[in-house]
Amino acid sequence: MSESGLTSDIPDEIKRRWSISSAFFLADTASSMVHRVGLTDGSSAILKRLTPRGLGELPGMTFLEWRQGQGAVHLLQKDGTECLLEDAGDLTLRAYRLQHGEGAANEIICDILQRLHTSGGAPPVGLTTLDQHFRSLFARAETESDQRLREPLQYSAEITRELLARQQMIKPLHGDLHHDNIVTGGSRGWLAIDPQGLVGDPAYDVANIFGNPLNALPDIIDPQRIRRLCDIFSETLDCSREKILRYAIAHAGASICWSLEDDGSVLNESENALERLAFLTVARGLLSDLSP
Residue 173: which pLDDT band, with cuts at 50, 70 and 90?
Answer: very high
Question: Among 1-15, 202-216, 270-284, which stretch is predicted with the lowest mean pLDDT?
Answer: 1-15
Q: Do domains 3-86 and 91-290 have the same CATH topology?
A: no
Q: Of 10 and 289, which is predicted with more confidence?
A: 10
- What's residue 288's pLDDT? 81
For 3-86, CATH gives 3.30.200.20
Q: Is the pLDDT of residue 263 over 70?
A: no
Mean pLDDT within 110-124: 92
Q: Is residue 51's pLDDT more than 80?
A: yes
pLDDT at residue 31 in the model: 87
The CATH classification number of 91-290 equals 3.90.1200.10
| Reported confidence tier of residue 122, pLDDT bands at 50, 70, 90 | confident
The predicted-structure confidence for 129-161, as pLDDT tens digits, reads as follows 999 999 999 999 999 999 999 999 999 999 999
> What is the pLDDT confidence band of residue 1, given thresholds at 50, 70 and 90?
very low
Active-site positions? 176
Instruction: Name the residue ranges covered by the structural domains of the chain.
Output: 3-86, 91-290
pLDDT computed for residue 114 by the predictor: 96
Q: Residue 291's pLDDT is what?
A: 67
What does the H/E/C string look like for the chain? CCHHHHHCCCCHHHHHHCCEEEEEEEEECCCEEEEEEEECCCCEEEEEEECHHHHHHHHHHHHHHHHCCCCECCEEEEECCEEEEECCCCEEHHHHHHHHCHHHHHHHHHHHHHHHCCCCCCCCCCCEEHHHHCHHHHHHHHHCCCHHHHHHHHHHHHHHHHHHCCCCCCEEECCCCCCCCEEECCCCCCEECCCCCEEECHHHHHHHHHHCCCCCHHHHCCHHHHHHHHHHHHHHHCCCHHHHHHHHHHHHHHHHHHHHHHHCCCHHHCHHHHHHHHHHHHHHHHHHHHCC
**Is the pTM above the cut of 0.95?**
no
